[in-house]
């Protein structure tokens, strides 16, 4: 495959950025999107040019680092996959592929396609954990949890914090991410003790960091690589309301 890549290049958050066009040739349809970028960077380095900066880690679709906006969609044209699991067979020979970083004020550009997603870490630090001292690790079957709640908690815990929900939302809302982290604990007995403090702290931190409000466009759910449901947002809103009235 031969492709034309229009890639956003930006030195840092304070610099002006621009699209730069790069041709790539003889790309295998079985290659992943990041492998294709590796081929480009090898060519750039060989020619004495600066490679394109982009984030990646596990390349197995479980860490959320590979945050790229490809042809107008977070993680690209495939559904329910991260960028590292996106394969070049989803593109056509001769196609122009536009590659950008996440576009959100709370995620400033570090360089090129890399953005600072540490605000998500700040939200987790504000309350997305269980800090109650429960002693030693109990046997798994000593705390009864009905299957429905266990399944819902596991579904929420599947969120990898990639930020696609923020990138997809016209308001740069982090509600899907925060609600998933609230829900995975609110549904379990271990999370009940700190439920009120947790939801109030995490929502407050989300607002402080400048994320936008949810206006129910469902774009976050549609673009989430782990298919996190917007039902978690409704659950978080109920948790927040209960915390305020009690």
Question: Does residue 189 surpass a pLDDT of 70?
Answer: yes
3-state helix, strand, coil in the chain (%, to 5): 40, 15, 50
Integer Cα distance of 126 and 212 in angstroms: 18
Mean pLDDT for 203-214 is 97
Altogether, the residues listed in the chain come to a count of 246
**Neighbouring-strand partners of residue 87:** 32
Mean pLDDT for 15-22 is 97
Give the domains, in start order, of the chain with CATH numbers.
3-111 (3.10.20.30), 118-245 (1.10.1060.10)
Rounded to 10 deg, the angle between the 231-245 and 195-208 helix axes is 110
* CA-angle at 107, arms to 202 and 34, nearest 5°: 115
Integer Cα distance of 198 and 233 in angstroms: 15
Q: How far is CA 105 from CA 116, 121, 141, 199, in A?
A: 10, 16, 45, 23
Question: Does residue 137 surpass a pLDDT of 90?
Answer: no
- Determine contact, residues 2/27, Cβ cutoff 8 Å: yes
Q: How far is CA 125 from CA 66, 93, 130, 136, 206, in A?
A: 22, 45, 11, 23, 11
pLDDT confidence of residue 140: 65
Question: Does residue 156 surpass a pLDDT of 90?
Answer: yes
Measured between alpha carbons, how far apart are the two ends of the chain, in Å?
A: 61
Task: Pick the closest to residue 114 from 58, 160, 163, 80 (CA basis).
Answer: 163
- Determine contact, residues 104/74, Cβ cutoff 8 Å: no
pLDDT tens digits for range 171-180: 999 999 999 9
Q: Which secondary-structure segment (H or E) carries 188?
A: none
Task: Pick the closest to residue 69 from 8, 3, 130 (CA basis).
Answer: 8
CA torsion angle for 175, 237, 181, 206 (degrees, to 10)? 50
> Is residue 226 very low, low, confident or very high in pLDDT (cuts 50, 70, 90)?
very high
Residue labelled with tokens 């480009």 = 40
Question: Does residue 135 surpass a pLDDT of 70?
Answer: no
pLDDT tens digits for range 227-236: 999 999 999 9
Mean pLDDT for 134-154 is 82
Integer Cα distance of 79 and 73 in angstroms: 10
Q: Which residues, including other chains, have CB under 8 Å from residue 113's CB and lie 6 or more apart?
A: 7, 8, 52, 53, 54, 55, 67, 68, 99, 100, 101
Neighbours of 103 (CB within 10 A): 14
The whole-model pTM stands at 0.94
User: Considering the chain, what percentage of its residues have pLDDT values greater than 70?
Assistant: 98
């Amino acid at each position: 495959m031969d492709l034309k890549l229009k890639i956003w290049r930006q030195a840092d958050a304070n610099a002006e950025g621009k699209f730069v066009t790069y041709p790539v040739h003889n790309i295998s349809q079985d290659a992943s999107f990041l492998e294709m970028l590796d081929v480009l960077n090898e060519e750039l380095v060989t020619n004495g040019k600066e490679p394109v900066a982009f984030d990646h880690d596990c390349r197995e679709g479980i860490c959320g680092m590979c945050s790229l906006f490809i042809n107008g969609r977070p993680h690209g044209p495939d559904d329910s996959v991260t960028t590292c699991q996106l394969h070049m067979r989803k593109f056509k020979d001769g196609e122009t592929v536009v590659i950008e970083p996440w576009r959100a004020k709370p995620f400033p550009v570090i360089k090129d396609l890399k953005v600072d997603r540490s605000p998500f870490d700040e939200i987790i630090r504000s309350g997305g954990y269980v800090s109650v001292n429960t002693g030693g690790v109990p046997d798994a079957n000593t705390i009864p949890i009905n299957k429905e709640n266990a399944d819902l908690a596991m579904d929420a815990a599947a969120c990898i914090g990639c930020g696609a929900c923020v990138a997809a939302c016209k308001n740069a809302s982090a509600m899907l991410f925060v609600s998933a982290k609230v829900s995975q604990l609110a549904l379990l007995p271990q999370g009940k003790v700190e439920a009120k403090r947790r939801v109030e702290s995490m929502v407050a931190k989300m607002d402080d960091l400048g994320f936008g409000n949810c206006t129910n466009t469902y774009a976050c759910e549609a673009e989430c690589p782990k298919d996190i449901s917007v039902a978690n947002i409704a659950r978080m809103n109920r948790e927040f309301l209960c915390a305020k009235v009690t």
